[in-house]
Structure 1
Amino acid sequence: MSLLHPYYIIALVFMLIMSFQEVYRGRVEKRWLYFLGIYLVILAGLRNEVGPDYGSYKGIYIYSDTKEYVTIFLKALRMEGNQPMEVEWLFVLINKILLNVFNAPFYILTLVIAALAVFFKIEYIEDNTFYPFTFMAFMFIPGFFIGESGQIRQNLGSFVVYFAIRFIKERKLFYYLLCIYLAGGIHNVCYLFLPMYWVARIPLNKAVMLILIITSVFLSPFEVYRAFGEFLNNVAADNTLAMGFNGYIDETTQRLNGGFGIPEAMMAILTFFLFAFDTKMKEKFPYYEYHRNYAVIGICLYFIFRNNPIFSSRLAGAFIGFSYILIPNTMYVVSENTKKMIYTFILALVVFNFVVFSSFNNIKAGRFTIDLYRNHLLP
């Protein structure tokens, strides 16, 4: 077992203190959320040779300078230029501008990407839960290490899409489509969210949810996703990057052949919350149905893609990111005693994730430990 660097522990302790405040004493001022956000941007954006995909993104940074602006803009228009484009156009454009115009070192790119991701993350969380610090603490491990400090392209693209939920609520289709377009320019997995503007409003009941989930579990061994072939391979490209943190998921042969691991446990927990609190959430929590629909899709996709660690982490994971916000949100609609039970359960999961993450080799491979973590600004 390895110990996370104290910088990360400070962030987690701060989240838990603010979490206690918001759960038992009322909503905390948003400025404290941005204070935390700035700190997280420094941790993720100015890290030095830290993160499982750090070297890969350095390679992309150099690669981006080989692409002409004409080729990049043609790709943005879905046209082919004189050069092949293996990475999404907007991410290449950001890389190229930083390198060509500002001659910026690589850590400026990670800083810019982290700042954008954390901004959209905070706005999404602030819009969609009354317990933002609780949700951030709940998702900190492994989310922050897989996302802001790991697969930074998919992480940023996903939070642009999550942010765009506000345009579904406001019925602003153009702005939603613009967000999808920009997010897809960072990582093409974000195009999967294109139909969610309409899917979010599909009425579901417990019977339909149960049928969908059971069907997905039944289909899991048959690998039906193979029927989509090249389309899914293109969407889940960059396998090297996707494998960065699959160690957290513990993709053992036993689990892939019917065993039970951490992801299955989390799917079971999420499913329980969906069914146990569905009625009260529909009555009392605004726009709950949108997140419920995303959650059901995420659970179904996870089981359908379960035998493929790339698809189950990259494709299903994009939807699951929406889903977990339902767990702290249930505290808003229940009695005080039940609220305390749910909060205790969330804290237990935070501790569990901390212990489990510390026990995996990835904490060392990612250089997040007290002896390996380095930062360009912090001592």
Structure 2
Amino acid sequence: MSLLHPYFIIAIIYMMIFSYQEVFHGKVDKKWLWALGVYLIIVAGFRNQVGPDYGSYRGIYVYSDTKDYLSIFMKAFGMQGSQPMEVEWLYVFINKILLNIFNAPFYILTFVIAVLAIYFKVEYTDDNTFYPFTFMLFMFIPGFFIGESGQIRQNLGSFIAYFGIRFIKERKLWAYLICIYLAAGVHTVCYIFLPMYWLVRIPLSKFVMLSMIIISVFLSPFEIYRVFGSLLTSISADNTLAVGFNGYMDESVERLNGAIGIPEVMMAILTFFLFSFDKKMKEKFPYYEYHRAYVVIGICFYFIFRDNPIFSSRLAGAFIGFAYIIIPNAMYVVSSNSRKMIYSFIIAITIFNFVVFSSFKNIIGGRFTWELYKNYILP
């Protein structure tokens, strides 16, 4: 077992303190959430050779400079320019601007991406839960290491798409379409969020939800996603980074062929919260029905794509990241004693994730330990 660098432990302790405050003593001023955001931007943005995908993204940074602006803009409008574009147009454009105009070193790119991602993350979290520190704590391991410090493209694209839920609530279609367009310009997987503007409005009874989940579980061994052929592959494919991503997920191999691992347990936990608190959440939590739609689709996607580690992590993972917000939100609609039980459960899961993440090779492969983590501006 290896120990995370103190910079990460400081963030965990900070979130725990304010998490306890917001759950048992009332909402914490947003400035303290932004203080956490700034700290995480520095830790993730200025990391040096940290993250299994670091080298791959640095290669993309150099690659982006070989593309001309006309080809980038044509790709933005769905056309093919004189040069093929293997990486999404907006991400390439950000890379090229930093290289051509500012001649910026690679860590400036990771900093810019971290600023954007954490901005959208903070805004989305503050918009959609009364317990932002608790949600951030709950998702920190392994989310921060897979997202802000790992798959930075999908992470940024996903949080732009998550941010877009405010436009679903306000029924601003064009604003939502622009949001998804920009998110997909960073990572194509975000196109799967496009139908959510309409899907979240469809009523879901417990019977319908249970039927959808059971059907998805039974369909899992049949790999029905193969009927979509190259469409899903083009959305989720990123072969340059697949090895790096799987470096985080040691258990992905173990859970294939019907085995049960941590992801399946987490799906069971999500399902439990979905059904146990559905009635109270509908009564007391604003726009809960919208969140519920993401949860159901995420669980179904996970089981349908379960036998493909790339699809189950990229396509299903995009929804699951949103889905977990219902767990801390459940504390808002229950009694004081139940709130204490749910909070204790969240802390227990956080500690469990800390131990598991530290026990896998992930922490060493990603260079997140005391000995291996380096930062350009932090000592």
Q: Establish whether TM, by shorter chain, passes 0.5.
A: yes
Map 1:1-379 → 2, pairs under 5 A: 1-251=1-251, 253-379=253-379
CA distance in 1, matches of 2:85, 2:313: 24
Distance 1:338 1:38, change over 3 A: same
Distance apart, 1:241 and its partner CA: 1.6
- Is residue 95–residue 109 contact of structure 1 (8 Å, CA) maintained in 2? yes
Shift of 1:258: 1.0
Give the superposition deviation at 1:365: 0.6
Compared CA separation, residues 241 and 253, structure 1 to 2 (3 A)? closer
Give the deviation of 1:243 after TM superposition: 3.8
Residue 244 (structure 1) shift: 2.6
Gaps of 5+ in 2: none
1:264-288 deviation digits (Å, cap 9, x = unpaired):
0000000000000000000000000
CA distance in 1, matches of 2:123, 2:26: 19
Letter in 1 for 2:161: V
Q: Is the contact between residue 151 and residue 242 of structure 1 (CA under 8 Å) also seen in structure 2? A: no
Query: Would the alpha carbon gap of residues 254 and 32 (structure 1) be closer, same or farther in structure 2, given more than 3 Å must change?
Result: closer
The whole-number CA distance in structure 1 between the counterparts of 2:195 and 2:347 is 34
Distance 2:359 2:376 in 1: 27
- Please list the CA deviations of residues 70-126 of structure 1 after superposition, one character each: whole Å capped at 9, or x if unmatched: 000000011111000000000000000000000000000000000000000000000
Q: Distance in 1 between matches of 2:272 and 2:115?
A: 34
1:191-214 CA distances to partner (integer Å, 9 max, x unpaired)? Answer: 011100001111001100000000
| Amino acid across the alignment from 1:268 | A
Cα contact 1:249–1:263 (8 A) shared by 2: no
- Identify if the C-alpha distance between structure 1 residues 314 and 275 changes in structure 2 by more than 3 Å, giving closer, same or farther: same
Structure 1 CA distance, aligned partners of 2:27 and 2:320? 25
State TM-score, norm by structure 2: 0.99
Q: Which runs of 5+ in 1 are unaligned?
A: none
Deviation at 1:246, TM superposition (A): 3.0
CA distance in 1, matches of 2:368, 2:249: 18
Report the residue type matching 2:179 in the other structure.
C
2:52–2:365 CA contact under 8 A, matched in 1: yes
* 1:40–1:253 Cα change, 3 Å: closer
Deviation at 1:245, TM superposition (A): 3.7
Q: 1:252, CA displacement in angstroms?
A: 5.4
> Aligned equivalents of 2:64 and 2:247: distance in 1?
29
2:65–2:100 CA contact under 8 A, matched in 1 = yes
Q: Do the aligned partners of residues 271 and 352 (structure 1) sit closer, same or farther apart at CA in structure 2, a change above 3 Å counting?
A: same
| d(CA) in 2 for partners of 1:73, 1:209 | 42
Question: Kindly tell me: are residues 252 and 321 of structure 1, through their superposed partners in 2, closer, same or farther at Cα, counting changes over 3 Å?
Answer: closer
Measured on the aligned residues, the alpha-carbon RMSD in Å equals: 0.9
**Does structure 1 conserve the Cα–Cα contact (< 8 Å) formed by 2:160 and 2:179?**
yes
What SS class does the counterpart of residue 11 from structure 2 fall into?
A: helix
- Residue 307 of structure 1 aligns with an amino acid whose one-letter code is D
1:112, 1:240 → 2: CA distance?
Answer: 21
Structure 2: how far apart are the matches of 1:368 and 1:254?
23
> Alpha-carbon deviations, 1:2-32, whole Å to 9, x = none?
0000000000000000000000100000000
| Aligned partner letter, 2:331 | M
Kindly provide the CA deviation profile for residues 315-343 of structure 1, in whole angstroms up to 9, marking residues without a partner as x.
00000011000000000000000000000
Task: Report the TM-score when normalising by structure 1.
Answer: 0.99
Could you tell me which amino acid in structure 2 is paired with residue 54 of structure 1?
Y
Distance 1:257 1:237 in 2: 22
Separation (CA, whole Å) in 2 of partners of 1:288 and 1:257: 35
Deviations 1:129-163 (A, max 9, x none): 00000000000000000000000000000000000
Aligned residues: 379
Q: 1:101 to 1:67 in 2, by over 3 A?
A: same
Superposed structure 1 runs of 4+ greater than 6 Å apart: none
Q: Is the 8 A contact 1:64 1:92 kept in 2?
A: yes
Is the 1:285–1:333 contact (alpha carbons within 8 Å) kept by the matching residues of 2? yes
3-state SS of 1:91 partner: helix
- Letter of the aligned partner of 2:336 in structure 1? E
Residues 7, 131 of structure 1: alpha-carbon distance in 2 compared, 3 angstrom cutoff = same
Distance in 2 separating the partners of 1:323 and 1:239:
26
